[in-house]
């Protein structure tokens, strides 16, 4: 790990001004991902601004739903009574992620900001387009390791089947974000140019030609909180995570589902998938199809088939073309209690 400066901010304003002042500066929240990246020299910061003292950890009811502070710990959110009662999908997704120790450290804002776990991104001797140039220090601006996408033609068992580009096929690793995508969250941010609200589906981005950029935050922006609108999905929510071991592993495929049911009929539904794309992947077409339909295996199969329309495998991850629709069906069965 390289030497870096360490400062602590106590107000969002001070934090934003500290990060805007000099390039190569990073916010440090729970540190569960950034510290690893620093150890592996994937990110080489000049300066860290510790934001753990910011008063942003509140979880509170609002007129339209729930507001979760960016600095709320993952475990605190997962265990919160309002979350468990009204947004169980979020609680389930959080508890499916990482380990208890990590959830006690990791924050909501940090979870949104976590980088992909692609092996090639982490190994600076391997090709990767996502790392971009060295961010700080004497080598600033030089390429941080060879360019190209190592995962294309390489170990891509964990990689994307939707929305990838020739530059990058990495996936977003978060479980929490799958629930937030399904639950139509909004991200509240503040920056040098003021505050703004970002709809969750516009927060993360696809790799395209710029895989270095995971999200649409502008330079200097700080996540303040996440808003969840009230919904009627609490009784029929399920987060299904398929992984290579029962706990503490990233998703091969995950499915977040929330339904509003009346009798056997689906009034409304939200579906999102993890482990399949560079961003949390909403299944809009499948949702549209299921609305107003009966909760039957036949309908679930059709919805799953619709969801897979544009899927593309890269060899080792071809199995996801089967696992993903199967998982959608399995998750829908569980959530509708038709299993």
Contact residues: another protein, CB under 8 A = 1-3, 41, 117, 119-120, 123, 125-126, 150, 153-155, 157, 240, 242, 244-250, 252, 301, 304-305, 308, 319, 322-323, 325-327, 329-330, 333-334, 339
129 vs 190 by CB, closer to another protein: 129
Annotate 228-257 with DSSP letters as a single string. EE--S-GGGEEEEEEESSSSSS-EEEEEEE
Residue located via tokens 């993890």 = 274
In the bound state with another protein, the residue whose beta carbon lies nearer, of 14 and 102, is: 102
Min. distance of Cβ 4 from another protein in angstroms?
11
Distance, in Å, from the CA atom of 204 to the CA atom of 97, rounded to the nearest integer, reads 19
Task: Work out how close the CB of 39 gets to another protein at its nearest, in angstroms, rounded to a whole number.
Answer: 9
Shortest distance in whole angstroms from residue 188 CB to another protein: 31
Nearer to another protein, 67 or 159 (CB): 159
d(CA 69, CA 113): 14
DSSP string, 105-142: H-BHHHHHHPPP--HHHH-TTS--SSS-B--SSTTTTS
Task: Kindly tell me which of 109 and 173 has the beta carbon lying closer to another protein.
Answer: 173
Contacts of 226 (CB under 8 A, 6+ apart): 67, 68, 70, 108, 112, 180, 185, 186, 187, 188, 200
Q: Shortest Cβ distance from residue 246 to another protein (Å)?
A: 4
Comparison of 113 and 242: residue with beta carbon closer to another protein: 242
SS3 302: helix
Query: How far is it, in rounded angstroms, from Cα 114 to Cα 57?
Result: 18
Q: Which of 15, 332 has the CB closer to another protein?
A: 332
The nearer residue to another protein, 217 or 303, going by C-beta atoms, is 303
Specify burial of residue 187 (Cβ count, 10 A radius: 0-12, 13-18, 19+). Answer: buried
Question: Which CA distances in Å does 128 have to 165, 170, 217, 245?
Answer: 13, 10, 22, 27
Write down the least CB distance from residue 57 to another protein, Å: 26
Please report how close the Cβ of residue 323 comes to another protein at its closest, in angstroms: 6
Residue 171 and residue 160 in contact, taking contact as beta carbons nearer than 8 Å: yes
User: Which residue's entry shows tokens 């029962």?
Assistant: 246
CB of 91 to another protein, least distance (A): 18
């Amino acid at each position: 790990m390289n030497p870096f400066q360490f400062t602590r901010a106590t107000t969002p304003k001070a934090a934003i001004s500290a990060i805007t002042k000099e390039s190569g500066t990073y916010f440090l929240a729970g540190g569960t991902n950034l510290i690893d990246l620093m150890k592996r020299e994937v990110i080489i910061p000049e300066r860290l601004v510790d934001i753990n003292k910011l008063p942003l950890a509140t979880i509170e009811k609002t007129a339209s739903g729930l507001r979760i502070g960016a600095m709320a710990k993952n475990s605190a959110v997962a265990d919160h009574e309002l979350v468990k009662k009204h947004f169980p999908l979020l609680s389930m997704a959080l508890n499916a992620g990482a380990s208890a120790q990590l959830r006690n450290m990791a924050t909501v804002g940090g979870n949104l900001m976590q980088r992909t776990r692609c092996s090639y991104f982490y190994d600076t001797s391997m090709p990767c387009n996502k790392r971009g140039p060295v961010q700080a220090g004497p080598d600033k601006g030089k390429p941080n390791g060879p360019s190209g996408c190592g995962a294309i033609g390489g170990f891509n068992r964990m990689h994307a089947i939707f929305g990838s580009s020739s530059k990058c096929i990495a996936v977003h690793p978060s479980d929490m974000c799958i629930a937030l995508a399904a639950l139509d969250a909004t991200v509240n941010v503040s920056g040098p140019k003021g505050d703004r609200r970002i709809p969750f589906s516009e927060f993360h981005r696809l790799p395209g030609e710029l895989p270095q950029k995971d999200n649409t935050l502008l330079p200097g922006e700080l996540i303040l909180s996440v808003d969840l609108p009230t919904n009627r999905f609490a009784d029929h929510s399920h987060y299904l995570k398929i992984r290579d071991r029962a706990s503490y592993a990233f998703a091969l495929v995950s499915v977040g589902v929330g339904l509003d049911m009346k009798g056997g009929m689906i009034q409304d539904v939200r579906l999102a998938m993890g482990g399949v794309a560079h961003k949390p992947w909403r299944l809009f077409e499948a949702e549209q199809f299921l609305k107003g339909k009966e909760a039957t295996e036949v309908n679930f199969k059709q919805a799953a088939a619709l969801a897979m329309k544009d899927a593309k495998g890269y060899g080792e991850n071809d199995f996801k073309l089967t696992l993903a629709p199967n998982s959608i069906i399995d998750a829908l069965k569980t959530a509708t209690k038709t299993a």
